[in-house]
């Protein structure tokens, strides 16, 4: 099995952030939000609750260009999203995207370290994240922080990459999911291919993420493989 190789740093240059944003497909955001809602984000809400209750407080860890919070807020007025990231360049893109989408009233941007967040205990009704954990050296610290800032009964919905077992599988996934669609996109796509391959190598294996979840006292079977390159963790605190 391939050993984990950490990425050198967060994607914090404008070129890297723009390459990531340009390659990030709307279908990915829609699928994530589809799955989040299907996982029961609003479990226990009645029709009257959607008119009368305060919006859910949702934390999006590693929001990047904030595409997922924007998609979520397009679907429902009943959320307020704290969209946090450690990268200044990503948050600059996120600010532009939220302004262009007219979502600044529902999405608040924040720069903080996911290893030690400056949020109060039990502050959020839900914590979501797409592809953050492979960026951090010690994912167990971030997982502990997720549990800390989530209120009892709150929803955790975390998705990230799975590390392939072989070099051949790395090459297959890069070719399948990061191939160039046109000559005009070639330069940014080549950068994205490089970043995607590095992310696959930095990801956790299925056994590693399940072990980290079990160490929190959470049933490891709450983590499931959900594509050829992703795992998803869904549980209520």
Condensed to tens digits (0 to 9), the pLDDT of residues 113-130 reads 999 999 999 999 999 999
Topology given in CATH for the domain delimited by 14-163+204-236: Rossmann fold (3.40.50)
Q: Which residues pair with 204 in a beta bridge?
A: 162
pLDDT reading at 26 higher than 60: yes
**What per-residue confidence (pLDDT) applies to 195?**
82
CA distance 80 to 227: 29
- 7 confidence band (pLDDT: 50, 70, 90): confident
Burial 91-121 (b: 16+ CB within 10 A, else e): bebbbebbeebebeebbebbeeebeebebee
Lowest mean pLDDT among 23-37, 60-74, 112-126, 134-148: 23-37
φ, ψ of residue 103 in degrees (nearest 5): -115, 15
**What per-residue confidence (pLDDT) applies to 187?**
57
pLDDT reading at 63 higher than 70: yes
Using DSSP's 3-state secondary structure scheme, residue 160 falls into strand
pTM for the whole thing?
A: 0.91
- 182 confidence band (pLDDT: 50, 70, 90): very low
- 109 confidence band (pLDDT: 50, 70, 90): very high
**What are 123-176's pLDDT values in tens digits?**
999 999 999 999 999 999 999 999 999 999 999 999 999 999 999 999 999 999
Query: Could you tell me if 101 and 70 are in contact, meaning their C-beta atoms sit under 8 angstroms apart?
Result: yes
Segments in the chain forming alpha helices (H): 14-23, 26-38, 49-52, 67-75, 88-100, 139-149, 167-177, 186-202, 206-215
Q: What is the mean pLDDT of the chain?
A: 91
Greatest Cα pair distance in the chain: 54
Using DSSP's 3-state secondary structure scheme, residue 142 falls into helix
pLDDT reading at 58 higher than 90: yes
Residue 74 neighbours by CB under 8 Å, 6+ apart: 101, 103
- 183 confidence band (pLDDT: 50, 70, 90): very low
Quick one: average pLDDT of 69-76?
Answer: 97
């Amino acid at each position: 099995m391939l050993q984990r190789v950490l990425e050198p740093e967060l994607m914090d240059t404008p070129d890297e952030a723009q390459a990531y944003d340009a390659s990030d497909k709307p279908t990915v955001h829609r699928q994530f939000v589809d799955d989040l809602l299907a996982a029961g984000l609003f479990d226990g809400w009645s029709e009257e609750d959607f008119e009368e209750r305060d919006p859910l407080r949702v934390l999006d860890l590693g929001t990047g260009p904030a595409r997922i919070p924007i998609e979520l807020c397009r679907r429902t007025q009943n959320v307020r999203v704290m969209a946090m990231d450690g990268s200044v360049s990503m948050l600059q893109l996120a600010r532009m995207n939220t302004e262009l989408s007219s979502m600044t009233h529902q999405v608040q941007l924040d720069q903080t370290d996911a290893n030690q967040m400056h949020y109060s205990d039990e502050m959020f009704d839900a914590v979501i994240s797409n592809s953050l954990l492979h960026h951090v050296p010690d994912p167990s610290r971030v997982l502990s922080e997720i549990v800390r800032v989530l209120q009892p009964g709150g929803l955790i919905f975390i998705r990230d990459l799975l590390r392939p077992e072989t070099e051949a599988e790395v090459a297959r996934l890069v070719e399948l999911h990061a191939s160039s669609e046109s000559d005009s996109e070639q330069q940014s796509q080549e950068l994205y291919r490089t970043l995607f391959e590095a992310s696959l190598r930095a990801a956790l294996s299925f056994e590693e993420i399940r072990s980290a979840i079990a160490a929190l006292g959470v049933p490891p079977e709450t983590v499931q493989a959900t594509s050829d390159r992703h795992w998803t963790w869904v549980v209520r605190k």
